[in-house]
């Protein structure tokens, strides 16, 4: 997805745009998790979307989903 760079996760506005895009179905949960993975705001998103946590965790054997 080329929109990875369209979300400014360091601003409230950028995070809110991503939240709205997820809620409206424009961004899939797994794609959103890839966008926020490793960013300090990841906890905010898992508070809103608890199902996203499964995509943020690495599998125990180190393989990718």
Q: Does residue 58 sit in helix, strand or coil?
A: coil
- Global pTM reads 0.79
Read off the pLDDT of each residue in 6-16 and give the average, rounded to a whole number. Answer: 92
Output 5-10 pairs: Cβ under 8 A, ≥24 positions apart: 7/35, 9/35, 9/36, 9/39, 9/41
Is 5's pLDDT higher than 70? no
Which pLDDT value is given to residue 20? 96
- Checking if the pLDDT of 49 tops 80, the result is yes
d(CA 45, CA 17): 12
What is the spatial distance between Cα 22 and Cα 60, in angstroms, rounded to a whole number? 27
45's tokens:
């998103």
């Amino acid at each position: 997805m080329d929109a990875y760079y369209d979300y400014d996760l360091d601003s409230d506005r950028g995070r809110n745009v991503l939240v709205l895009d997820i809620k409206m179905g424009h961004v899939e949960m797994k794609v959103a998790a890839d966008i926020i993975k490793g960013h300090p705001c990841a906890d905010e998103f898992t508070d809103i979307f608890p199902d996203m946590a499964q995509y943020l965790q690495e599998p125990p054997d180190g393989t990718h989903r």
